[in-house]
Structure 1
Amino acid sequence: MKIRTIFILIVIIAVGSMTLHLYNTYQEYSNRPMPTDLHPVVEDAMEQLVNKSEEKGIPILITDDFRSVEEQNAIYARGRSEGGTVVTNAKGGESYHNYGLAIDFAIQPNPGEAIWDLEYDGNNNGESDWMEVVSIAKSLGFSWGGDFTQFKDYPHLQMDFGLSIRELQMGKRPEDVIDKLPYYTTVRLPLDR
């Protein structure tokens, strides 16, 4: 009986400590406004992606980058309360786009044209142009939506800086963690030209 009581007390203290930590973290970051533009590191990497893809003979078009919460809610409504096909499972505030940390792309075989064909090989090198762009993006620090386990989002590229959507919703931003992430500071920042 004594061991059980001690165990229960330890669990209560641990849960209370975790709750206090979450509350303090929320209080520290909660007054921060939502971002209003693409994060500068993501913007720099996006420009490099466009240039490096072009160098391989693969012109790409950035079809989306920063999205407001309102824009995200409108996209979320597609295929639900509005006609069309469901294109996202993320409501406003639940997407890395809302924090300026994500972009979407398409292959641009001709000016004014965009394709989302994962098999297309416009530079005729025997490799999928799409996967060549994904490889370049990953080398620049992006994660690819095609690697997502539940909802494959092939045009989607994001840099999360180790932050979850929940942490971003609480007000944390890349600047809060970037100096604590040696991989980003030594390998990916500053990004080479």
Structure 2
Amino acid sequence: MKKHILLQLFMFLAIACKAQTYPLDSDYKIVPNYSYLKDISNALLPFVGDWKANYNGNEIVLKIDKVDHHLNNFDVKKYYQDVLFIRYIIKNSQGNVVESTMNFNITDSNIISDMTFSNENMVSFTYTGGQCTVGWGEINLQLTDTTHFIWNYQPESTAVTNKNCSNYPTGGIKINLPYESADLIFTKQ
């Protein structure tokens, strides 16, 4: 009898968990808490890997990793989602590192995917910014073929001073990610 009850409980939990899985492009605001937005169509996979571009004399290398079942924990909603994280390194023409997040743990990266547009082969990312959140904004990557994508980064403006950022340098903080060109092409390595 006890085995029968445990078996029924296990089957119920398996069915309940299965019922909580939704396609990745579902609206997270309308799914129940702790639902799973799964990349059923593998829309994220073509973006995974190392990508390179040159911009204003700098070499930019992106390392894009996929993490399945990542918990998004917002005040009003908690849900799991398959996501991409971007880490990057920017080197000047002499090969010196201008900025790098390559030493970050994957899930500590400050660039995370938040939405897919499968019909446009595009993924949208939230960038939380660099030092003192300078440069926070939205990044869109749109595949043009299997080895290239277009980078589009729109930083938001922020007033940062040494009052709201204790480690704000006297010379200011520069945004090093490319944001002027909407047509910067990255090539898969």
Q: Which has the higher contact order (CA 8 A, sep 6+)?
A: 1
Q: Greater strand share, 1 or 2?
A: 2
TM-score, normalised to structure 1, is 0.30
> Which structure: greater helix fraction?
1
